[in-house]
């Protein structure tokens, strides 16, 4: 069994113990920066089984996204809400099983210690990080 298939099988087996849920939130103050860089600069951060999604010969995008999540809540527990900031660094890949385009998160962090802990139990690698998103608006927005 290939590494990616084994991971997907393990994750599906684990996920059957977690009830389906939906999340609702307001996303504000999004900063999205993309850089066009050489494949060899990104390759060390992406598992070898994933093919990088080149947009030109030897070039890929790497993106940095910062945002604020407000009033995050699970539909099963609408009275439990929290807010946090999130920071992601990602690139684009080709799924080796389906050939579909996808996103690979090189690093992802969240300002909520509790949520970082819970998502790690679910094998979502969100690190607890310190940062704040401050936005100012002019009269014309």
Residue 69 Cα distances to 50, 66, 96, 135, angstroms:
29, 10, 32, 14
- One CATH from 3.40.50.450, 2.40.400.10, 3.40.190.290, 3.30.450.20 for 21-128: 2.40.400.10
Distance of CA 6 to the CA centre of its chain: 21
Domain ranges of the chain: 21-128
Coil, strand or helix at 96: coil
Structure-token pair, residue 73 = 């809540």
- Predicted confidence at residue 16, as pLDDT, reads 53
pLDDT digits (tens, 9 = 90+) for 8-26: 444 444 455 555 667 788 8
Kindly report the backbone phi and psi dihedral angles of residue 84, in degrees, each rounded to the nearest multiple of 5, phi listed first. Answer: -160, 170
**pLDDT for residue 139 is more than 80:** no
Q: Residue 69 class from Cβ within 10 Å (0-12 exposed, 13-18 middle, 19+ buried)?
A: buried
- Predicted confidence at residue 125, as pLDDT, reads 72
pLDDT digits (tens, 9 = 90+) for 115-126: 777 777 766 777
pLDDT digits (tens, 9 = 90+) for 34-80: 999 999 999 999 988 889 999 999 999 999 999 888 888 876 667 77
Nearest to 95 by CA among 34, 37, 8, 15: 8
Q: What is the rounded end-to-end Cα distance, in angstroms, of the chain?
A: 53
pLDDT band (50, 70, 90) for residue 5: very low
């Amino acid at each position: 069994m290939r590494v990616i298939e084994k991971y997907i099988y393990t994750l599906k087996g684990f996920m059957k113990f977690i009830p389906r849920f939906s999340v609702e939130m307001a996303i504000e103050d999004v900063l999205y920066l993309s850089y066009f860089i050489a494949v060899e600069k990104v390759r060390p951060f992406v598992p070898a089984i994933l093919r990088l999604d080149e947009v030109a010969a030897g070039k890929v995008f790497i993106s940095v996204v910062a945002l604020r999540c407000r009033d995050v809540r699970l539909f099963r527990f609408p009275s439990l809400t929290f807010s946090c900031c999130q920071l992601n660094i990602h690139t684009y890949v080709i799924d080796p099983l389906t050939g579909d385009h996808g996103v690979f998160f090189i690093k992802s962090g969240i300002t909520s210690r509790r949520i970082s802990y819970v998502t790690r139990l679910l094998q979502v690698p969100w690190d607890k990080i310190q940062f704040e998103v401050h936005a100012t608006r002019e009269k014309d927005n």
